[in-house]
């Protein structure tokens, strides 16, 4: 019990001087984008996540100090949004959608296959630090169900076999390209992009929604349907 209390009451260790010297210029650049410093909290959390692979207590205190917030205020945000990890994460965060449509079309079977193949459960990381596996909520890509996301990139129309091949390729260090977008980068590199820094991967702007996504729009056009006109500030259409 004493050990637990010490862990709960101890202040987190600050970043080493070299890490802080590297992070502070980027952090100040992020804060300068916003009229109110606290508005920079979300990208700052991505920045500290890019350093350690998760949002640690040290990262929380760093953000709080920079923005003039309390650790509790920063923790409340970091624990609210699921993209912020509170435990160390592998190079590739593999999220299997098990929400209704993906589950019906095979998401549960994919998750079961990956758990058995990798030897880990939901929220755990392989011993080599390569893969963290989670079942996640809707990816908003139901038209391509069942879907897996790796570091927030889409892999559509998956099967247990294709999912197993995917994680094997990641663990082997092979270049893996999602269904839409540029070749995958690591979880930490992805976090830096989400903090608002340039994504220089070739092909990052490539890809299109695809036929399933556009089916409703195409049907509406075939039936001669049009979106209602929106009046301008003067009331004219």
Contact 155, 136 (CB under 8 A): no
What is the DSSP secondary structure assignment for residue 143, as one 8-state letter?
G
* Residue 156 confidence (pLDDT): 94
What DSSP element (H or E) covers 131? strand 131-136
Tokens coding 193: 């992009």
Given a contact cutoff of 8 angstroms between Cβ atoms, the answer to whether 99 and 57 are in contact is: no
Mean pLDDT over the full length of the chain? 90
DSSP single-letter state for residue 142: G
Say if residues 151 and 190 touch (Cβ distance below 8 Å).
Answer: yes
Residue 229 to residue 9: CA distance in whole angstroms: 59
Q: Give backbone dihedrals phi and psi of 131, rounded to 5 degrees, phi first.
A: -125, 130
Question: Token pair of 76, please?
Answer: 């409340």
Cβ within 8 Å of residue 70, ≥6 positions away: 64
- In sequence order, what are the beta bridge partners of 150? 94, 153
Specify the DSSP class assigned to residue 20: H
Instruction: Please state the φ and ψ torsions of residue 94, each to the nearest 5 degrees.
Output: -100, 110
What is the model's pLDDT at position 231? 76
**For the whole prediction, is pTM greater than 0.95?**
no
Token look-up 């294709």 returns: 162
pLDDT for 236: 62
Give yes or no for a contact between 114 and 164, defined as CB atoms under 8 angstroms apart: yes
Q: Give the pLDDT score at 5.
A: 42
Question: What's the pLDDT at 26?
Answer: 97
pLDDT < 70: residue spans in the chain: 1-10, 206-209, 234-237
pLDDT for the residue 8: 43
- pLDDT for 6 equals 44
**How much is the pLDDT for 237?**
59
Q: What is the pLDDT of residues 94-112, one digit of tens each?
A: 999 999 999 999 999 999 9
Q: CB–CB of 62/101 below 8 Å?
A: no
């Amino acid at each position: 019990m004493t050990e637990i209390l010490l862990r709960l009451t101890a202040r987190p260790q600050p970043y080493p001087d070299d890490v802080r010297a590297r992070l502070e210029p980027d952090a100040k650049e992020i804060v300068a984008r916003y009229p109110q410093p606290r508005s920079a909290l979300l990208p700052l959390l991505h920045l500290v996540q890019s350093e350690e692979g998760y949002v640690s207590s040290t990262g929380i205190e760093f953000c709080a100090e920079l923005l003039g917030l309390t650790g509790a205020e920063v923790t409340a945000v970091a624990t609210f949004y699921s993209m912020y990890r509170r435990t160390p994460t592998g190079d590739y965060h593999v999220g299997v959608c098990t929400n209704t449509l993906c589950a019906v079309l095979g998401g549960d079977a994919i998750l079961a296959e990956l758990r058995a193949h990798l030897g880990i459960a939901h929220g755990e990381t392989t011993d080599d630090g390569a893969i963290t596996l989670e079942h996640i909520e809707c990816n908003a890509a139901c038209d391509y169900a069942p879907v897996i996301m790796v570091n927030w990139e889409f892999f559509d129309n998956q099967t247990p076999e294709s999912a197993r091949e995917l994680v094997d390729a990641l663990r082997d260090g092979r270049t893996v390209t999602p269904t839409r977008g540029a070749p995958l980068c690591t979880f930490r590199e992805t976090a830096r992009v989400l903090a608002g820094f340039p994504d220089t991967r070739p092909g990052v702007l490539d890809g299109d929604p695809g036929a399933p996504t556009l089916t409703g729009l195409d049907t509406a056009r075939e039936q001669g349907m049009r979106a209602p006109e929106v009046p301008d500030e003067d009331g004219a259409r």
